[in-house]
Chains A and B, each alone.
Chain A
Amino acid sequence: MYKIGLGSRLVLGLACALMVACSGAIGGDSAGSGGGSDDPAGGTGSMPNNLPQDTPPASLPPDRMMSTVCKGIEPGPTYVRRLTKNEYNNVINHLAGDTSSPAKDFPTETQIEGWDNNGLAQTVSPVLLEQYLLIAEREAQMLVDTKLAALMGNCDVATKGEPACLMALYDNFGRRAFRRPLAADEIALLKVVFDVGKTTGGTNGFKNGIRLVVTEMLLSPPFLYRIEFGMPAKPGETVVRLDHYEMASRLSFLVWNSMPDDMLFTAAKDSKLGTAAEISAQAMRMIGDGKAKASTRHFYEQWLDLDRLDNLMKDAVTFRTWSGAIASAMRTETLRFADEVTWNDSSGDITALLTATYSFMTKTLATFYGGVTAPADDTTFARVDLNAMQRGGVLTQGALMAGLAHENQTSPVVRGLFVREQFLCTHPPAPPDDIQIVIPKLDPTKTTRERFAVHTNLECARACHTLMDPIGLGFENFDAVGKYRTTEAGKRIDATGEIIGLASMTGDAAKFNGPLELGRKLASADEVRSCVGTKWFQYSLGRTQDTNSDACSLDVLKRRFSSNNYKLKDLLMATVQTDAFLFRRVITAGGAQ
């Protein structure tokens, strides 16, 4: 039994700062609004004057035309992105039919703001490159042994000849692996590889040559990376649209976390992925495909930091019924719930996410929680109705409540900090250097609120902790393993609190009593709605927002989100309306990004 400490400020920031004055500035959602592009090429209102020549204004998304923030087209920086472990597995599945998730042994991705797909964070290591080689060799062998004809579009070597079938390989498997047609220099490069394999393969020369070519393809930049050059720039242009194949990949990795399907490839080949309307229509089709669930799931996993459930430990004396299996079931519960809210719930919005009174449990998990009618067995996670006076919404689930607690007691600090960072997009300052960071000692005669009062009784700690504790104390009805309780230390739980520092809610409006009211308040707060949009921006575009250059894209994304009543599913559609998704800056080879 073990647990890996969560390498995040959520844990490190659990501190009670006891000695040194804290500086308690309330951070803001820096990318929320305002600013606008400083691009001198910018026009006014909805008529950008730096449109690429072949992009008529009428083809811009309607949401952009409504925005007052948007001026000139400003896509922000675009970075080459390596396939994440998740994407690599999906691509190998869809390209080669291998469902074994071969990337599971790849090194952990370096993360930025909790996201595994940030282009700036991606580096390669010797271990990763060895893995790439071994898997490329294995997949190539498997493909030529079992699917050789299909790789070449069923080209018959006996009748068509080797050169024709090699070209057929490029046009079929190659085009799918590179997610675009091969360039002439690539064909020349691969011919050399093929010839070596033909020689070393002896009587099996052709097949062996194909095997080496496929191996190289699976190691190559167009396979391992998502590289976007954009349309050729005309003189004076600073921004360009993506080419049709690049757009096909952007769409498929956004909606499916994987490579394009045949329909996308066909649309790209026919140059039908140029206008916002064409792109939206494809996105709409793709969202109807079950594969779309993979993308939103991966978002929730990272946004809600569900990895914290991996081997989550609890004090074995205080919580005897806790087990790794319970932690794992809690993780699945939250993912199933998020799936349901996003894809099946009648409102499917932030409010449902934060207040819905149903969940998904096995018999074991339901029995652990108590207070609900348990499913018959552990074979599935069945939908259960919650006691609406006790639980509702994702924040009240075990994954969050047990995950955001110490091993032997709850933590109003950790819970409050999580809400601040993940739902309000603010970063309370971390405790100062070199202070004693200690958790208030357990005391069987005192409630958590009483023990944590040390924060509000000390001038220095109060400045920081008023941002966290008054939110976190609202969850005191859930103990350190996520079970509902009404008393602690023989006293009735006081779960009142206040969300301090919001512009949209002040005074009594920001006060709440208990986790259910807290969920409702958060769901209706402008700051939360904006924050969810920001988080989605970071995930869906694989980079952190820039306050200036992404102001228009964020405004468009959030405008669309708002006009669809904060339906979570619609975040996918919102992304494809943005400058950041539709365009890229013209590349200056060797120059600034």
Chain B
Amino acid sequence: MKSPLLDRRAVLRGVAGVSVALPWLEAMGPAKRAQAATLSGFPKRLIVWFTPDGTIKNNWTPPGTDPTASRILAPLARYKDYVTVLDGVDNVASYNGVGDGHQTGMGCMLTGIELLPGSTKGGCDTCAPAGLAGGPSVDQVVVQKSAPNTKFSSLEMGIQTGGGGNAWSYSNYSAANMPLPLENSPANVWKRVFTDLQAGGGDPMALDRLKTERKSVLDATIKHYQTVAMKLGQSDRAKMNAHLQGVRDLETRLLAASPAGGAASCVKPPQTAATTDFRTTGKLHMDLLHMAMTCDLTRVGTIQWTRSVGSARMDWLGATRGQHDMSHDANDATTAARDVATGAAITMPTAEMLTRINIWYMEQLFYLVDKLAKTPEGAGNMLDNTLILCVNELSMGNAHNRTDMPFLLVGKAGGAHRSGRVLRYPGATRVPHNNLMVSVLNFMDVPATTFGNPKYCTGALTGL
């Protein structure tokens, strides 16, 4: 497949739960079976998995046909039949439009379209300052096109994604310039998802009253925003309309509620204790997302480890510096570290420490994959009905390149994804990652032939 896109080399220059009677689910109203269901009747789910700062590509890429036969991907070996490695796909969109390469790597990662003009200066002197992403992210397109009747259209969870909201912060966008913030606290996720806004303590009378009262308040609020919006200029009006649409959606969620899944494995998890610990947060987020999906409270989720330029310092691996700081070291540099067993100060190649960090992230992914695989759904398991899209804003950290991206798919998406393969895209012609996003949409039963900016898309990814 030849494409009119830029020549690659031209660019290279340059917790145990308690089974309960589930009043918190029954309170949500009658179940309505929705779209994107698999043949077995279980819903399809999409999970975005983000890790930052690129990888060590030669330790990531498997040399042969076994998709997990590399140091970094080895933790997934038990589930290699569920894994597809994509070798040679490029984030082409990120080489276009406003903003420098650093901003675009993240902002184009799931959107495939140039960043909006903005005020965050960057780039060469011919590059205009950049704002946020210029279109919706692939996960949100799935939400919008498949319109699952779940309580939460999607859940975005982060592990220490930090302060500051800009193009480096967000994976997910509901539309251009509309980022979805990430919840960093598992305790808050638990409260939101599993005790939720449905107070009433299981008393149907109290719940009825709550719904009546909330409806009156939110109806008035919606009218209030409508009245104000009419009197305003264009951009302020759009802002008020966006707010009122959000209140409408909230009202729908609270009043109409959602199907409750009904899988036997659906168990309300015990209250999640507050934590800011990196590893604990990640594990709890995965537990909560897994159960939210098991109970069909959502079908689309994101686990974002830190963010673009994220810099966790994994002292449990012997690291004495943060990931981002080290990702700038030269290929042959060495770094201070500690011997994990003895705590003694040692020196090792920085690339080795970065490899270990990426292996650790892959071990976390194994934890999630393993949970999904061990959750029965019909004759199969939840991993059969799930697609995990693993992304990174860069390929190699110190090169800041977005070519040969370390994209990975895990899970069979209800059979749509023929996994267990290594797909290679060699040669000079760039293979835009928008094509991968088209395939992801198709796997999720969203008809699409293009994604993001069609300039950087030639259809579904060949061979996938």
Residues on A lying within 8 angstroms of B by beta carbon are 1-9, 11-12, 14-15, 20, 22-23, 25, 27, 79-80, 105, 107-113, 118, 120-130, 133-134, 185-186, 189-190, 192-193, 196-197, 200, 212, 215-216, 219-222, 224-225, 227, 229, 307, 310, 313, 315-318, 406-408, 421, 427, 429-439, 441, 544, 587-593
Contact = CB atoms under 8 A, between A and B. Distances in A.
Contacts of A22: 124
Given A14-B328, A436-B398, A212 B217 contact: yes
Given A113-B119, A307-B164, A439-B329, A6 B309 contact: yes
A2 B312 contact: yes
A407 B246 contact: no
B66 to A, nearest CB: 31
B322 A313 contact: yes
A22 B124 CA distance: 8
Contacts of A189: 220, 223-224
B178 A185 contact: no
A110 B132 contact: yes
Nearest to A6: B309
A126 B125 contact: no
B307 A5 contact: yes
Interface string B126-149: 110101100000000000000000
B181 interface: yes
A107 B217 CA distance: 23
Closest 7 CB pairs of A and B: A107-B181, A4-B162, A7-B168, A5-B309, A110-B165, A5-B311, A196-B216
Contacts of A108: 162-165, 169, 181
B236 A2 contact: no
Contacts of B338: 316-317
Given A20-B13, A196-B212, A590-B237, A429 B243 contact: no
A317 B336 contact: yes
A133 B197 contact: yes
Contact of B14 (A111, A125, A434): A434
A126 B250 contact: yes
Interface in B318-349: 320-325, 328-330, 333, 335-338, 345
Contacts of B132: 110
A317 B119 contact: no
Given A7-B307, A185-B227, A79 B14 contact: no
Interface of B: 11-14, 52-53, 95, 100-102, 118-127, 129, 131-132, 152-153, 160-169, 174, 177-183, 185, 188, 192, 197, 209, 212-214, 216-218, 220-221, 223-225, 227-228, 230-237, 239-240, 242-243, 246-247, 249-250, 278, 306-313, 315, 320-325, 328-330, 333, 335-338, 345, 398-401
16 contacts: A1-B313, A5-B162, A5-B322, A80-B232, A110-B132, A123-B179, A127-B180, A127-B181, A130-B192, A133-B218, A200-B212, A310-B163, A433-B400, A435-B400, A588-B233, A593-B236
B129 to A, nearest CB: 8
A313 to B, nearest CB: 5
A123 B227 contact: no
B163 A307 contact: yes
B166 A408 contact: no
Contacts of B95: 433
Nearest to B123: A430
Given A127-B183, A436-B330, A111 B165 contact: yes
Chain A: interface secondary structure?
loop
A284 B402 CA distance: 54
Contacts of A122: 239
Contacts of B11: 433-434
Given A9-B102, A406-B325, A1 B217 contact: no
A434 B329 CA distance: 15
A192 B250 contact: no
A585 to B, nearest CB: 9
Given A80-B232, A434-B401, A544 B123 contact: no
Given A434-B401, A438-B329, A192 B310 contact: no
Contacts of B242: 123-124
Nearest to B221: A219
A268 to B, nearest CB: 20
A15 B321 CA distance: 18
A142 B168 CA distance: 39
Contacts of A307: 163-164
Nearest to B314: A2
Contact of A317 (B118, B214, B246, B345): B345
Given A127-B181, A134-B197, 11 more contacts: A2-B322, A7-B167, A112-B119, A123-B177, A126-B249, A133-B197, A219-B218, A318-B336, A408-B321, A438-B329, A592-B234
Contacts of A133: 197, 214, 218, 250
Contact of A197 (B101, B216, B246): B216
Contact of B240 (A134, A221, A421, A437): A221
Contacts of A124: 242-243, 246
B94 to A, nearest CB: 9
A408 B353 CA distance: 15
A109 to B, nearest CB: 6
